[in-house]
Structure 1
Amino acid sequence: MILATFHHDEQGRITAFQLVGHARNWRLWPDMICAGVSAIGQTTIGSLQELAGVEPDYLLEDGNIRCAVQYSDDDEQSTVIAALMASTRIGCLQLEDSYGNKYVTVNDVFHGDSET
C-alpha cells in the first residue's frame, strides 16, 4: 500500500508531502498505480522548480518520495506553490477513490496535530 501523507500549516496550505510504499498485488494495474503516484509526486517537484521558481527540499527513492516547501512573502508565488502542492493531494485522492485505499491511502496532518 502507498501512504500519501500531507502536512498542512495553520493557514491550511500543504507544506510537505511524503509518498511511501508500493501497491503490490498479482495484477498488473497496481504497478500502474505506483507509477501514477510517482509521476504525480515527481511532476510536483519539477513544477515547483520550473513554474514557482523555488527549490523544494525533496527526496526521490524507490518507494519514498518526500517534498517540503517554504512559502515566500510573494503572494503570487505562494499561490502557485499552494496550488501545486494541493494538486498532488488531489491526484492521490483521485487514485484512492478510483482504486481503493487498499492501494493508496491519503492522510492529512494539520498544524498542531500529531501524526499517528
Structure 2
Amino acid sequence: MIKAVIRRDSKGQIFEFEIKGHANYAQHGEDIVCAAVSALSQTVIIGLCDYLNIKCDFKIDSGYLHCKLPFELDKQKRLQADAVLETMVLGIKNIKEGYPSFVKLYEKEV
C-alpha cells in the first residue's frame, strides 16, 4: 500500500510531504497505481526545484519520496508552490478514489 502524508502549517499551507510504500496492484514494472503516484510526486519536485527554483530538501529512493520546503519563501513563490502542491494533493485524492485499497492519504496540521 502507498501511504502519502501531507504536512501543513497553521495557515494550511503544505511545507512537507512523504510518500512511501508500494501499491502492489500489479507486478513490479506493471503497477499503474505505483507509476501514477510516482510520476505525480516526482513531477511536483521537478516543478518546485527546477521550474520555480525553490531549494527544497528532498530524497527519492525505491518506494520512498520525501520533500520539505524552506520556510522562508516570498509571497509570490509561496503562491506558486501552493498551486503545484495542492494540484499534487488533488491528483493523489483522485488516484485514491479509483484505487482505495492501494493508496492512503493523510493530511496533518503541524
Pair in the same fold by TM > 0.5: yes
Partner of 1:5: 5
Matched, 1:84 2:84: yes
State the percentage of identical aligned residues.
26
Matched, 1:109 2:108: yes
Residues in 1 aligned to 2:82 and 2:71: alpha-carbon distance in whole angstroms: 8
Partner of 1:52: 52
Unpaired runs of 5+ in structure 2?
Answer: none
Moved more, 33-42 or 73-82: 73-82
What is the aligned length?
Answer: 110
Deviations 1:33-60 (A, max 9, x none): 1011000110000000123211211011
Secondary structure (helix, strand or coil) at the match of 2:31 reads: helix
Is contact 1:2–1:23 with CA below 8 Å preserved after alignment?
yes
CA RMSD after TM alignment: 1.9
Deviations 1:45-88 (A, max 9, x none): 00001232112110110100111102434211110111111112
Is contact 2:25–2:33 with CA below 8 Å preserved after alignment?
no
Is contact 1:21–1:64 with CA below 8 Å preserved after alignment?
yes
Q: TM-score, normalised by structure 2?
A: 0.90
Residues in 2 aligned to 1:25 and 1:78: alpha-carbon distance in whole angstroms: 35
Secondary structure (helix, strand or coil) at the match of 1:60 reads: strand
Q: TM-score, normalised by structure 1?
A: 0.86
